Amino acid sequence: MYLFLDRDGVINDEIKDGYVLHPGMFRFSEGVLEAMPVLAQRFERIFVVTNQRCIGRGLLTVEGLQEIHAQMLDTIRQAGGRIDKIYFCPDVESNSPCRKPNAGMAHRAKNDFPDIDFSKALMAGNTLSDMQFGRNAGMQTVFIATTLPDTPFPHPLIDKKYPDLLRFAQDIQ
């Protein structure tokens, strides 16, 4: 099994109407560091797929994003978890092939890891755009209701819904 995770609002606290622009602004969401070791045991590969429009808007450099991600990965490793690779889309335009809900980042992962079988993959995210991304790539979807708890369920784009990443991890053990 393969897991694709959105970042903002799933792994870290989302900054409403803003962006994480330096490591000091990155805050793990409650329960995430407990969830990651469980997910690492359950999934063969774990990927992060994240739209980072702030780069295209000139608010953050790729190097700055890599610094944020290096800190995130180090903390996850120290907690006993792992992320195999992070994919990000810096594009501003919503119709960019790499920008979710388009499946470009999933295809990049498949190119890097040819063993990925999207029919055995889950996309966990906190927006309907994340769910559409999962569907567009042929994955099952898991809605993490941290930022949009009132999203209706059942919903045609959502296979399962959890209040946070830890509850999801506990359910799939």
Question: Which pLDDT value is given to residue 34?
Answer: 98
Residues annotated as catalytic (active site), given as ranges: 6, 8
Hey, what amino acid is at 173? Q
What does the pLDDT look like over 73-132, one tens digit per residue?
A: 999 999 999 999 999 999 999 999 999 999 999 999 999 999 999 999 999 999 999 999
Cβ count near 26 (within 10 Å): 20
8: annotated binding-site residue? Answer: yes
Token duo for residue 146? 């941290």
CA angle 3/70/31 to nearest 5° reads 55
89: annotated binding-site residue? Answer: yes
115: annotated binding-site residue? Answer: no
Question: Which pLDDT value is given to residue 17?
Answer: 87
The span from the CA of 125 to the CA of 93, in Å, is 20
